[in-house]
Amino acid sequence: MRDNSGKTSKLATGTGLGQAKRLAKRSRPKPWTAELNLDFPTKYRVIASAILLVVALLYPAKWLLTDGITEDEGIQETRIEEGGGQSADSLPVDVSGIGSEPIAVVQAAVLSKQEPAVLPEAEEEFSDNAVVAKGKQLFDVNCLACHQLGAIGKIGFAPSIGNRDFLALATDAFIRQTIIIGRQGTAMAPRPDLSEKQVTAIITYLRSARVSNPVKVSVDWDKKFNGDATAGAEKYGRYCSACHGAKGEGYAAGVPGTGIGLPGFLSVASDDYILQTLKLGRIGTPMRSFIGSRGLANLTEGDGHDLIAYLREQGRKNVPTRDREVAVKGDPKRGKLHFDVNCIACHQPDGVGKVGFAPSIRNRDFLAIASDDFIRKTIRNGRLGTAMVPRPDLAFQKVSDIIAYLRALPVANPVEIVVDPTLSFNGNAEEGAVKYANYCAACHGSRGEGYLAGVPGPGIGLSGFLESVSDDYILQTLRQGRIGTPMKPFLGAKGIANLTVEDAHDIIAQLRVMGKGNGSGQ
């Protein structure tokens, strides 16, 4: 650079060199420590690098073994603690079956050393949700028909077991006992077929719902009161009978309330449980609080003791008499009443059933194949592995009335089918397995498990079904089908598969094999 005199400027030359050096310095690649803002001398940078390397090597390697594995691969186990000291037992939940080749995934994760895809916190949250999801699935299969979606119940039909006040009063043990032994004299039949873990999952699901303004109530399950039953009878007639029936029989009397005078309820409810219910009521239901200044009737605790004494006395009177093995001819009108109380939740009005949920028991072809004795035994013994639970509590006459009601329902083009319960066929189970897979699995499940597999047909591979039907019953069903349902005839030229009788024998043999492996069913 030159000035006006034509001489080179030293200042200009020095400035140009300084800028060049600074530009060259900026263009150099920065060490990785510069990104961490470690403005240390070189030796300290080396020390810091070594420390970071050691930490990386010593970091727990558990994430290396879980990287890339979704929560759907494996078994999760958790314990959910509920408020008020009530807890659900830990429950292993098998959620496998989604995803593929978990071992290969683990190996790939170890080699790649990527960041964990599922942090411990996410795994724990998923585990809790998995237990609730399992409980909801079990509730939907076994309880929803009566207790409705979300366990909200239905007035005059089934109580709300998702109710805030009920869950505050009822311990896990109380709910568990009710599920296992049922409520004698009601449609709440015993469910001993449900395992402890399955019941725990259902309870966990019930307690998982968020409620507004939660309450805590302490119930003394051993406390007993000495009320006056005579005084309680007058108070019961005034304040309780309109909703719970004159004798406390509940829904069977056509009233909106439950059977609080039935032995099935009184055998599990302590005196203090009933007293606290009178104090608290059931929010969102017709059952209001009755005790205290805020109570509907401003009753005293002494009044509550009298009511409890009367209920205990009524419970002893409501014990069913010994069943008779011979009943008079069934009455269709009474049968409809008994059907609506005990059967309609699953089998729908007039027994039409619901595809994927419960079979039609007013179906023309079913009633032509099933004898009165077959229907009676099915009601009494239930179907192991399904929601059709045993109902030994229903009196012989009531069952006869229900059967009379079903047979009185009008059908078009009635048919007559003769079933020989003594016949036994010798089919080939191995060949039957192929035919079952081709013609039956799509509707009844790959193992004959029925509705729980998300298929439209019932569980014909379950022991509860196979122990109650003869070989000829199944053969005639394959030949006849069920009119108005997805179950079409399969035998002969008119059958959708044109199967032979021998083909049917093979399928029956395979079903018998399935039954031995499906003892626990659903």
Strand partners, 358: 354
Contact 303, 292 (CB under 8 A): no
Quick one: 73 and 104 in the same domain? yes
DSSP string, 418-470: ---TT------HHHHHHHHHHHTHHHH-TTS-GGGGT-SS--TTSHHHHTTS-
Instruction: Classify residue 171: in a domain, yes or no.
Output: yes
The pLDDT of 82-106, averaged and rounded, is: 37
The C-alpha atoms of residue 236 and residue 244 are separated, in whole angstroms, by 9
Quick one: 445 and 381 in the same domain? no
Q: In 3-state terms, the chain is what percent helix, strand and coil (to 5)? A: 50, 5, 45
Quick one: 475 and 510 in the same domain? yes
Dihedral sign computed on CA atoms, order 522, 348, 379, 152: positive
Query: Is residue 489 scored above 80 in pLDDT?
Result: yes
Instruction: Classify residue 198: in a domain, yes or no.
Output: yes
* Nearest of 221, 235, 242, 384 to residue 297 by alpha carbon: 235
Q: Count other C-beta atoms under 10 Å from residue 404's C-beta.
A: 18
**H/E stretch holding 39:** none
* Nearest of 367, 365, 370 to residue 479 by alpha carbon: 365
Strand partners, 87: 81
What pLDDT shows up at residue 102?
38
Contact 451, 388 (CB under 8 A): no
DSSP string, 300-357: -HHHHHHHHHHHHHHHHHTSPPPPPS--PPP-HHHHHHHHHHHTHHHH-GGG--BTTT
Quick one: 401 and 480 in the same domain? no
Contact 115, 67 (CB under 8 A): yes
Strand partners, 80: 88
DSSP string, 248-295: S-GGGGT-SS--TTSHHHHTT--HHHHHHHHHH--TTSS----BSTTS
The pLDDT of 92-109, averaged and rounded, is: 36
Quick one: 155 and 101 in the same domain? no
Single residue among 283, 317, 351 that ends a domain in this structure: 317
Please report where in the chains the tokens 């039957």 appear, as a residue: 432
Query: Is residue 322 scored above 60 in pLDDT?
Result: no
What CATH number is attached to the domain comprising 505?
Answer: 1.10.760.10
Residues 422-432: b if buried by 16+ CB within 10 A, e if exposed? eeebebbbebb
Tokens of 407: 């047979």
Quick one: 164 and 193 in the same domain? yes
Instruction: Classify residue 325: in a domain, yes or no.
Output: no
Who's near 153: CB < 8 A, 6+ residues apart? 147, 159, 160, 161, 162, 163, 285
Instruction: Classify residue 248: in a domain, yes or no.
Output: yes
Query: Is residue 399 scored above 80 in pLDDT?
Result: yes
pLDDT band at 504 (very low <50, low <70, confident <90, very high): very high
Quick one: 455 and 500 in the same domain? yes
Number of domains in the chain: 6
Residue 26 main-chain phi, psi, to 5 deg: -65, -30
The pLDDT of 77-98, averaged and rounded, is: 36
pLDDT band at 127 (very low <50, low <70, confident <90, very high): low
pLDDT band at 124 (very low <50, low <70, confident <90, very high): very low
Give me the domain span that covers residue 20.
10-58
Distances (CA, A) of 363 to 202, 300, 359, 370: 33, 54, 9, 10
pTM equals: 0.51
Who's near 132: CB < 8 A, 6+ residues apart? 204, 205, 208
Instruction: Classify residue 220: in a domain, yes or no.
Output: no
Residue type, position 488, single letter? K
Single residue among 208, 241, 269 that ends a domain in this structure: 208
Cα dihedral 471/472/477/478 (nearest 10): 70
* Nearest of 475, 479, 476, 482 to residue 498 by alpha carbon: 479
The pLDDT of 81-102, averaged and rounded, is: 37
Quick one: 48 and 77 in the same domain? no
What pLDDT shows up at residue 48?
59
Cα dihedral 297/298/300/304 (nearest 10): 30
Tokens of 201: 């999952």
What pLDDT shows up at residue 448?
92
Distances (CA, A) of 89 to 84, 197, 202, 488: 15, 8, 11, 45
Q: Count other C-beta atoms under 10 Å from residue 23's C-beta.
A: 9
What pLDDT shows up at residue 23?
53
Query: Is residue 73 scored above 60 in pLDDT?
Result: no
Instruction: Classify residue 126: in a domain, yes or no.
Output: no
Distances (CA, A) of 520 to 192, 372, 379, 516: 11, 27, 19, 10
DSSP string, 89-128: ----EE--SSSS-HHHHHHHHHHHTPPPSS-HHHHHHHHH
Quick one: 36 and 99 in the same domain? no
Instruction: Classify residue 372: in a domain, yes or no.
Output: yes
Quick one: 32 and 73 in the same domain? no
Quick one: 111 and 164 in the same domain? no
Quick one: 434 and 509 in the same domain? yes
For the chain, percent of residues with pLDDT exceeding 90: 50
pLDDT band at 386 (very low <50, low <70, confident <90, very high): confident
Query: Is residue 6 scored above 60 in pLDDT?
Result: no
Per-residue pLDDT tens for 457-471?
Answer: 999 999 889 988 999
The C-alpha atoms of residue 293 and residue 287 are separated, in whole angstroms, by 16
Instruction: Classify residue 15: in a domain, yes or no.
Output: yes
What pLDDT shows up at residue 59?
47
